[in-house]
Amino acid sequence: MAILTIVPNLTTVGNAFISLLFPNQCLVCKEGEFFSQDPICLDCIQHMTPLPIENRVQELTVNDGIDIAFSGWDFGDELRTAIHSLKYEERARIGFFLGKLLGDQLHKNTIQKLDYLIPVPLHPVKFRDRGFNQARWIADGLGKAVQKPVRTKLMKRIKHTISQTTLDKKERLNNMKKAFKINQDVTDKNIGIVDDVLTTGSTISSMASKLKDAGAKIIVAITVATPLEKKDDTYAESV
Ligand SMILES: [Zn+2]
């Protein structure tokens, strides 16, 4: 049996050795080499402003259907500018890494109650233009950290949302709900909805309300960042 306890140690030693031979460069500051597999250096991580892990649902402009809202960091200029400039594969690595980092900080007991995670889906047209869904990578990293499955096909966007300017609050929510379709039974499920940036909460709220209408029990909104200064939709989806 001794060999079983030795094997992980050998793997760790091996990884450290590989890191020494091929040092990484931080994807955010592009400066300095460091000997870890992480895409962001410690300096850059320390420059991000972590938020206390607490329920922020009351801070949202729109929170129907959402029971709990968690966000990891302040979405300040530095984080936004740095991450916005990344290439496709780099964004994927950073998204996964930030999701994992966030998962390590979240209250384990709240997260443990979840049955699975859903990334906020992009509309197919937008997906075709962009070629990626950042929320998916974050959900994958988060799911790995908290050991929860990620369901990417459970909820889809089915059409662009029509102009909402003439609608009142309730009509807006109903209108937004029509933009999503649920493909599986969600009765009594506790679900985490994952996105990059939390602003007004309107997108996650419309998903949450739709899931609640279909029988879901608890909905937790989990995002990497939220701008502390200003809450409007111009920040949305810019990570
Ligand atoms: Zn850095």
The CATH number that applies at residue 99 is 3.40.50
Residue 190 belongs to some domain of the structure: yes
Residue 224 belongs to some domain of the structure: yes
Are residues 98 and 192 both part of a single domain? Answer: yes
Residue 81 belongs to some domain of the structure: yes
Residue 18 belongs to some domain of the structure: yes
Residue 3 belongs to some domain of the structure: no
CA end-to-end span of the chain: 47
Provide the domain count of the chain: 2
The values of phi and psi at residue 234, to 5°, are -70, -20
How far is the centre of ligand 1, averaged over its atoms, from the C-alpha of 227 (Å)?
Answer: 21
How far is the centre of ligand 1, averaged over its atoms, from the C-alpha of 176 (Å)?
Answer: 38
Are residues 133 and 87 both part of a single domain? Answer: yes
- Domain span at 38: 9-47
How far is the centre of ligand 1, averaged over its atoms, from the C-alpha of 28 (Å)?
Answer: 5
Are residues 136 and 179 both part of a single domain? Answer: yes
Top-confidence range, 50-54, 82-86, 88-92, 166-170: 50-54
Contact present, 221 and 201 (Cβ < 8 Å): yes
**In the chain, % of residues over pLDDT 70:** 80
Q: Find the helix or strand (DSSP H, E) in which 33 lies.
A: strand 33-34
How far is the centre of ligand 1, averaged over its atoms, from the C-alpha of 80 (Å)?
Answer: 14
Are residues 61 and 14 both part of a single domain? Answer: no
Q: Which one has a higher pLDDT value, 91 or 188?
A: 188
Are residues 13 and 82 both part of a single domain? Answer: no
Q: Residue 25 pLDDT more than 70?
A: yes
Are residues 162 and 211 both part of a single domain? Answer: yes
What is the distance between the alpha carbons of residues 138 and 11, in angstroms, rounded to a whole number? 26
pLDDT tens per residue across span 154-201: 999 887 656 667 778 778 888 888 889 999 999 999 999 999 888 888
Residue 1 belongs to some domain of the structure: no
Are residues 27 and 96 both part of a single domain? Answer: no
Are residues 145 and 184 both part of a single domain? Answer: yes
Are residues 28 and 68 both part of a single domain? Answer: no
Confidence band of 82 (pLDDT split at 50, 70, 90): low
How far is the centre of ligand 1, averaged over its atoms, from the C-alpha of 32 (Å)?
Answer: 8
Top-confidence range, 18-32, 130-144, 151-165: 130-144
What is the distance between the alpha carbons of residues 232 and 201, in angstroms, rounded to a whole number? 9
How far is the centre of ligand 1, averaged over its atoms, from the C-alpha of 99 (Å)?
Answer: 17
Are residues 63 and 35 both part of a single domain? Answer: no
Residue 2 belongs to some domain of the structure: no
How far is the centre of ligand 1, averaged over its atoms, from the C-alpha of 24 (Å)?
Answer: 10
Least confident of 10-24, 127-141, 190-204: 10-24
Q: Which residues are within 8 A (CB) of 144 and not within 5 positions of it... i.e. 6 or more apart?
A: 96, 99, 100, 103
Are residues 147 and 186 both part of a single domain? Answer: yes
pTM of whole model > 0.85?
no
Are residues 37 and 153 both part of a single domain? Answer: no
Residue 176 belongs to some domain of the structure: yes
Confidence band of 17 (pLDDT split at 50, 70, 90): low
Contact present, 212 and 190 (Cβ < 8 Å): no
State the pairing for strand pair 33-34/24-25. Answer: antiparallel
